[in-house]
Amino acid sequence: MFHVAVVGAGAIGNPIAWGLSLRKDLAPIQLIDGDVVERSNLARQPWFGEDDIGCNKAVTLAARLAGGETPLYASPEMLTQSNREILLADADIVMDATDNWEARLVIQEWAEQHQRPWIFNSAVRLEGMSTRLDPGGPCLRCWFDTKETQGPACFEAGVLGSVTLAVAGRALLLLDDWIRQGSSPDQGTLWLIDRRFGSDRSIHSGPLRCDHGGHG
Ligand SMILES: [Zn+2]
């Protein structure tokens, strides 16, 4: 059974973890987050309540979702370059539910080193994005100039709750495709939702081959 690691237990990580916990075909699900619950989180992170303020998000979420089809366990640390090998040692695939590009680059470098896929997710203000990044396919740096992309994190910019739910739902579908098929037409496709225009769309990378240092 596949071992899924979810990095981030906030607005995207909450519904992703819930969706994963309903599957019967996963190894225990790992939730990685060093942050604590704050009052401002409660509106968009519905598995947290008043009593959880000040408690670690990963620990709290793993406990809240206990009793589903698959158990969850917490790694109450921030993912960094120095702990990534230990924290992601068992992971077959990583779900990005972070809100910053630094952490995403840590995941990308881990994925290159170990030739593993990961699912990139982002939600800021009224915009959301999701794509699966497979070994040998386009990487995060192919899609974005990651030096320029350090925009505001969602806690600074604010984010629409329906956008985070849409992104989490898309990420769960991408994971489902990967589990069932190993690859899917979504490979090399970036899905975007932008509520300013009220629509979503997909951008295809074409037959792009990454030469950013992956070993594919
Ligand atoms: Zn690349």
**Per-residue pLDDT tens over the stretch 138-187:** 899 888 876 655 665 655 567 778 899 999 999 999 999 999 887 555 56
Structure tokens given for 156: 């600074």
181 within some domain = yes
Residue 142 lies in a domain: yes
Q: 188 in a domain, yes or no? A: yes
DSSP symbols for 129-170? EEEEE-TTS--HHHHS-TTT-----HHHH-B-HHHHHHHHHH
In a domain, 216, yes or no: no
> 146 in a domain, yes or no?
yes
| 13-21 helix and 57-64 helix, angle to the nearest 10 degrees | 30
Q: What is the pLDDT of residues 191-204, one digit of tens each?
A: 998 878 877 888 88
List Cα–Cα distances, 52 to 21, 35, 71, in angstroms.
20, 12, 20
Indicate the pLDDT class of residue 210, thresholds 50, 70 and 90: confident
How many domains, the chain? 1
Q: Residue 24's domain is classified under what CATH number?
A: 3.40.50.720
Instruction: Answer yes or no: is 213 within a domain.
Output: no
Q: Which residues constitute the domain of residue 170?
A: 4-204
CA 23 to ligand 1 center in whole angstroms? 31
Distance 107 CA to ligand 1 centre (A): 13
pTM of the model: 0.92
pLDDT value of position 85:
97
Q: Report pLDDT digits (tens) over 91-127.
A: 999 999 998 899 999 999 999 999 999 999 999 888 8
How far away, in angstroms, is 133 Cα from ligand 1 center? 10
- For residue 28, tell me if it sits in a domain: yes
Q: In angstroms, what is the span from residue 184 Cα to ligand 1's centroid? A: 19
CA of 116 to the centre of ligand 1 (A): 14
**Distance (Å) from CA 134 to ligand 1 centroid:** 10
CA 201 / ligand 1 centre spacing (Å): 22
Is 212 inside a domain boundary? no
pLDDT band at 216 (very low <50, low <70, confident <90, very high): very low
Phi, psi of 11 (to 5 degrees): -65, -35
